[in-house]
Amino acid sequence: MTELSGGPALPQERRLVTPIPGPKSQELLARKAATVANGVGTTLPVFVTRAGGGVLEDVDGNSLIDFGSGIAVTSVGNSAEAVVRRATEQLAAFTHTCFMVTPYEGYVEVCEQLAELTPGDHAKKSALFNSGAEAVENAVKIARAYTGRQAVVVFDHGYHGRTNLTMALTAKNMPYKHGFGPFAPEVYRVPLAYPFRWLTGADNCAEQAAAQAIDQITKQVGAENVAAIVIEPIAGEGGFIEPAKGFLPRIAQFARDNGIVFVADEIQTGFCRTGQWFACEDEGVVPDLITTAKGIAGGLPLAAVTGRAEIMDAAHAGGLGGTYGGNPVACAAALGSIETMRELDLNAKAKRIEEVMKGRLAALAEKFDIIGDVRGRGAMIAIELVKSGTREGAKTPNPEATAAVAKACHAEGLVVLTCGTYGNVLRFLPPLVIGEDLLTEGLDIIERAFGTL
């Protein structure tokens, strides 16, 4: 696997030589506890020294299978060859000028790529930032400047970041918002079409949820006051919830009919993660603005707002930007990352990962009745856990079993993450370049973990 990197010849294998975490990681963990703020948590405290392809290597010499990609970031694999090559060249040439002071080509090239890759063939422009939250904040700024309106509509189970405005846009209190208010005003939350938990059944979900959302917007906010509707095409932190088919197009149409800017937050779903360049393509939805980050630059911090030129141009000169936004090294990494996605056809790889994972997980759901739902697209797959005997009825969330399975996987050297409003979702986000043998081995570990409950 020469196209994978992480340093020379990083073996693509799981290898456990100590308990997880090992003694050196434990030592570092003590140093972390002494000096890093408690608020900065850690899912799996092994300290990493090298990573690439589908594995992470730690300070104790263990090699773990990666089903997390640093939260959907290293889709092209860690230290992917083209990312390292381009970022290294850029590092040697210059590290920073500030694009707002003296510009450089890489920034423009990234915006050209974004215009080409995002849905729709209208004229598009972009602005680059450092983090997903910053991109979402700027999408709201741009929508307000364009519409002259203030209100922002978001959805149940939504996650949009940790800054003040994006905390307000985020649904879940703990851990994202608790004690951190007051939050930004003029944010309104409406129902999301969550098929597994829709009280009158999945078949009614899209239509009823859309009707409720639209009713709340028109009656409680007033469509003419709404600047933007911001939605994740698949809710990420909220539990990998795929809105019932038909919901997204209906909401996008409502936005269009009412002069509201429709913003797709594709920070987690974008850049081949779901088997398409962007998840909203699945239902042919063309957003007015799209926010991207995570997978865009192979691990370097970069984010973007891309959208209709006339909307993007509504903010006055000097109104958008930031010292580091579109840093030249991050832009070079993004170009390397996009090159890798094209060359290795990572959309096809994501679809293959879905096929392998869903096949295995569906069989697992037959065996274990605490698996309430298997869902997701591409290499963004999740299982939602419920209490035994409630799958066909109350669907009582089972965060305890979710934590126990995750813990058992970690102990066996498999990095998995949890999510969900009820903390009862195991989510799998392998790098798209992971080998099929590692993918299968990871699934074996998950199966064994359920067996230990």
Ligand X SMILES: *Cc1c(COP(=O)(O)O)cnc(C)c1O
Q: Check binding of 68 to ligand X (CB under 6 A).
A: no
Q: Give the C-alpha separation, 278 to 292, whole Å.
A: 10
Q: Give the C-alpha separation, 95 to 185, whole Å.
A: 38
Q: Check binding of 160 to ligand X (CB under 6 A).
A: yes
Residue 263: φ, ψ to 5°: -110, 120
Q: Check binding of 417 to ligand X (CB under 6 A).
A: no
Which stretch in 91-99, 131-139, 324-332, 392-400 sits in contact with ligand X by CB under 6 A?
131-139
Smallest distance, Å, CB 278 to ligand X? 12
Within residues 216-235, the interface with ligand X by CB under 6 A covers: 232
Sign of the four-CA dihedral 269, 271, 274, 277: positive
Q: Check binding of 133 to ligand X (CB under 6 A).
A: yes
Q: Check binding of 298 to ligand X (CB under 6 A).
A: no
* Eight-state DSSP code of residue 128: E
Two structure tokens written together for 134: 């910053």
Which stretch in 10-18, 130-138, 276-284, 351-359 sits in contact with ligand X by CB under 6 A?
130-138
Smallest distance, Å, CB 269 to ligand X? 7
State which residue, 171 or 449, has the beta carbon closest to ligand X. 171
In DSSP terms, which residues pair with 244 in a beta bridge?
Answer: none
State which residue, 428 or 450, has the beta carbon closest to ligand X. 428
State which residue, 152 or 370, has the beta carbon closest to ligand X. 152
Q: Give the C-alpha separation, 145 to 267, whole Å.
A: 22
Two structure tokens written together for 283: 């239902």
Q: Check binding of 132 to ligand X (CB under 6 A).
A: yes
From residue 296, alpha-carbon distances to 48, 176, 323, 407 in Å are 22, 24, 20, 29
Which amino acid, one-letter code, is at 302?
A: L
Task: Please answer whether residues 79 and 7 qualify as being in contact, where contact means their C-beta atoms are separated by less than 8 angstroms.
Answer: yes
In DSSP terms, which residues pair with 49 in a beta bridge?
Answer: none
Q: Check binding of 268 to ligand X (CB under 6 A).
A: yes
Smallest distance, Å, CB 172 to ligand X? 12
Smallest distance, Å, CB 396 to ligand X? 27
Two structure tokens written together for 423: 């903390």
State which residue, 133 or 213, has the beta carbon closest to ligand X. 133
Q: Check binding of 47 to ligand X (CB under 6 A).
A: no
Q: Check binding of 136 to ligand X (CB under 6 A).
A: yes
Closest CA to 147 of 258, 30, 294: 258
Q: Check binding of 293 to ligand X (CB under 6 A).
A: yes
Two structure tokens written together for 340: 């890798």
Q: Give the C-alpha separation, 287 to 119, whole Å.
A: 7
DSSP helix, strand, coil percent of the chain (3-state; round to 5): 40, 15, 45
Q: Give the C-alpha separation, 304 to 203, whole Å.
A: 35
Tally of residues, the chain: 453
Total residues contacting ligand X (rule CB under 6 A)?
14
State which residue, 187 or 438, has the beta carbon closest to ligand X. 187
Smallest distance, Å, CB 256 to ligand X? 22
Which of 62, 131, 327, 424 touches ligand X by CB under 6 A? 131
State which residue, 115 or 419, has the beta carbon closest to ligand X. 419
Q: Check binding of 277 to ligand X (CB under 6 A).
A: no
Q: Check binding of 261 to ligand X (CB under 6 A).
A: no
State which residue, 55 or 165, has the beta carbon closest to ligand X. 165
Which stretch in 20-28, 37-45, 154-162, 355-363 sits in contact with ligand X by CB under 6 A?
154-162
Residue 57: φ, ψ to 5°: -110, 140
Which residue's CB atom is positioned nearest to ligand X? 132
Neighbour-count burial for 219-253, b at 16+ CB within 10 Å, e otherwise: eebebeebbbbbbbbbbbbbbbbbbbeebbbbbbe
Q: Give the C-alpha separation, 253 to 62, whole Å.
A: 51
State which residue, 4 or 248, has the beta carbon closest to ligand X. 248
Smallest distance, Å, CB 267 to ligand X? 4
State which residue, 73 or 370, has the beta carbon closest to ligand X. 73
Smallest distance, Å, CB 330 to ligand X? 12
Q: Give the C-alpha separation, 154 to 134, whole Å.
A: 17
State which residue, 132 or 413, has the beta carbon closest to ligand X. 132
Task: Please answer whether residues 448 and 412 qualify as being in contact, where contact means their C-beta atoms are separated by less than 8 angstroms.
Answer: yes
Within residues 325-384, the interface with ligand X by CB under 6 A covers: none
* Eight-state DSSP code of residue 387: -
Which stretch in 77-85, 91-99, 126-134, 395-403 sits in contact with ligand X by CB under 6 A?
126-134
State which residue, 234 or 311, has the beta carbon closest to ligand X. 234
Query: Is omega for the bond preceding 175 within 30 degrees of 0, making it cis?
Result: yes
Residues that bind ligand X (CB under 6 A): 131-133, 136, 159-161, 232, 236, 265, 267-268, 293-294
